[in-house]
Structure 1
């Protein structure tokens, strides 16, 4: 499975919530949000969950390799959030915001320019 997006990201962020830590198997999720249009090639498995603030997210996984490549949020049409690692580009822009920063692993340090939110700023 692959996803193709166009244009620059609307935003780039990292999420330290416990669900994202479990979902990624890492200490945070790094995501870039893009406006439509986007195209997906190949089949995807889906996992839905409701966040702390009540929003429902649908995560898409590659059924062949297990990569959690992108997700959408119910009620938010026209955007997709793609895992930054899915671009396999070490030059990808850094995050602008850190959400659930209060749940960040104490040894994770971020540039001073990153906005820190203890929870999801909605």
Structure 2
């Protein structure tokens, strides 16, 4: 199965094959700032499962303790995908950007020490960190 994630304006996209190797919500400050929300929905795919990328992307690089490269739409600003040095050979894609063929429900929650106290999650999700 091929899935395509789009930015808000539709100018940028990424295509991936199959299901993610990790489908999780993250509560770290980095993901909260990236999304402007209470958490970030991150779907990680093996690099070889990324089959296409299209559009005019800008690049934002994070240096320091957790180096990352984030690609965002130059027109609307949606962060669509990223690479993190901590997880080589994987490409992260914003889970909410898969709207035509949505991803399955996330199965993990990470960086839970940053989770908003009012946010409840399913009890059967795997917890990491």
Runs of 4+ in structure 1 displaced over 4 angstroms?
none
Structure with the bigger percentage of strand: 2
Choose which of 98, 109, 117 in structure 2 pairs with 1:98.
109
Q: What's the C-alpha RMSD, in Å, of the aligned pairs? A: 1.9
Aligned to 1:62: 73
Choose which of 18, 39, 43 in structure 2 pairs with 1:32.
43
Cα distance change on mapping 1:111 and 1:44 into 2, 3 Å: same
Equivalent residue pairs, number: 116
With the length of structure 2 as denominator, give the TM-score of the two structures.
Answer: 0.80
SS class of match (2:44): strand
Deviation at 1:50, TM superposition (A): 4.3
| Alignment partner of 1:116 is 2:111 | no
Q: Is the 8 A contact 2:43 2:94 kept in 1?
A: yes
Q: Return 5+ residue gaps in structure 1 as ranges.
A: none
Q: CA-to-partner distance for each residue in 1:14-73, whole Å, 9 max, x for gaps? A: 11111211111011000111112422101211112247xx33111111011111111112
